[in-house]
Amino acid sequence: MARRSAVPPIPDFAVLRSRLDRAREAAAGTGLVIAPGSDLRYLIGQPGGSFERLTALVIPADGVPALVVPKLEAPGFTGLEDLGVEVVTWVDGVDPYSLAAERLGGPERVAVSDFTPALHVLAIRDALPKAEQVLAGPIVRELRMRKDAAEIDALRKAGAAIDRVHARVAEWLRPGRTEAEVGADIAAAIVEEGHTEADFVIVASGPNGASPHHALSERVIEAGDVVVVDIGGPVAEGYNSDSTRTYAVGAPRDADVAATYAVLQEAQQAAVDAVRPGVTAESIDAAARDVIAAAGFGEYFIHRTGHGIGLDVHEEPYIVAGNDLPLEAGMAFSVEPGIYQSGRWGARIEDIVVVTSDGGESMNNQPHDLVVV
């Protein structure tokens, strides 16, 4: 029966009450149903867990927000009364979707959080047959994209913690070890250096480096390999790190590594330097992509330049062609161009950058040079 992890730190109640008020205001008469996950954590400070029994924060257009939660799960949620959130418990045999519908008060529209399981989405639709059902993502992301000072502090903490791990990679990365063995050491260090867990570990050596999401394998690392190490995880506040550095195990065997990597460094720095309020997300992508294309490597840069980060590793805003969103102070995202030559080797440099009032602040401060170990 034990399925819940330790309750995370809860942000200031005044901050959470403001978030709830702003969510209702942004919904503009639409009822909200927020399932467990990062949206729930943003609004009430606790993520909960999504199981076959419905747990959902219900925010009516008018009236008191309520957490509809199985009675056996209710002890895992604390302090909600101080937020002005009523706790509505239910037991097996009771229809929780009817309880949620009653709290919503028969709205014309109901917005359901994006990652709510279909099991619950369809049952909510049945309980509110006259209501138009839409996604809550466009509403909540407008709140979450702009980080406040405490959120930025948490991102700084996460960035410093993952920097400390990258500073130790030479302890584990050497010929004769497998990617999986190196990855296990890195995962342990991610926790040792201040994260609650290792969310992801990519150790992509030699030709595996040309696959951006390779992760780990039993490939034995060889002298001369170029190795992409992309790692991250959450700190106690729930905010995530995500940083990539590229290493060489001794002198690279391929003669073109130094010149190609210099192009990548220039591209990543150009994109970071372009960050400031008012420019568009796609212009940051273009700043990196134009450098790489001008050097003749355009076809080898096969993904967007970045993604937003916060309570989720991937969230708005996305730094990609076609996204004309103007950047604003408090927006946080990765800047991570890469060059991937299939069958040979790949490289990526990634920092998390937060938009400031007049530019951008990097959350990562490890050197960008190709690190020879």
What does the pLDDT look like over 37-66, one tens digit per residue?
A: 999 999 999 999 889 999 999 999 988 999
Contact 80, 68 (CB under 8 A): no
Q: For residue 317, is the peptide bond before it cis, meaning its omega torsion is within 30 degrees of 0? A: yes
Longest dimension (CA), the chain: 69
Check residue 3 and give its pLDDT.
36
Contact 225, 249 (CB under 8 A): yes
Check residue 12 and give its pLDDT.
86
Hey, which bits of 115-256 come out as E strands? 132-135, 200-205, 226-232, 243-248
Check residue 274 and give its pLDDT.
98
Q: Which of 372, 339, 198 is nearest to 267 (CA)?
A: 339
Residues 56, 65: Cα–Cα separation, whole Å: 10
* 357 confidence band (pLDDT: 50, 70, 90): very high
Place of tokens 């950047």: 327
Place of tokens 């702003």: 22
Q: Which of 58, 63, 60 is nearest to 43 (CA)?
A: 58
Q: Which of 88, 68, 74 is nearest to 7 (CA)?
A: 74
Contact 132, 110 (CB under 8 A): yes
What average pLDDT does the segment 100-114 reach? 95
Please say whether the dihedral angle defined by the alpha carbons of residues 324, 325, 327 and 333, taken in this order, is positive or negative: negative
Q: Which of 314, 363, 351, 343 is nearest to 230 (CA)?
A: 351
- On the question of pLDDT at 9 being above 90, the answer is no
Residues 198, 187: Cα–Cα separation, whole Å: 5
pTM assigned to the model: 0.94
Q: Which of 119, 338, 80 is nearest to 209 (CA)?
A: 338
Q: Tell me the per-residue pLDDT of 122-174, one tens digit each, with 9 for 90 and over.
A: 999 999 999 999 999 999 999 999 999 999 999 999 999 999 999 999 999 99
Residues 338, 343: Cα–Cα separation, whole Å: 15
Check residue 360 and give its pLDDT.
98
Neighbours of 222 (CB within 10 A): 13
Percent of the chain with pLDDT over 70: 97
Q: Which residues of 146-184 are buried (b: 16+ CB within 10 A; e: fewer)?
A: ebeeebbebbbbbbbbbbebbeebeebbeeebbbebbbb
* 215 confidence band (pLDDT: 50, 70, 90): confident
- On the question of pLDDT at 270 being above 90, the answer is yes
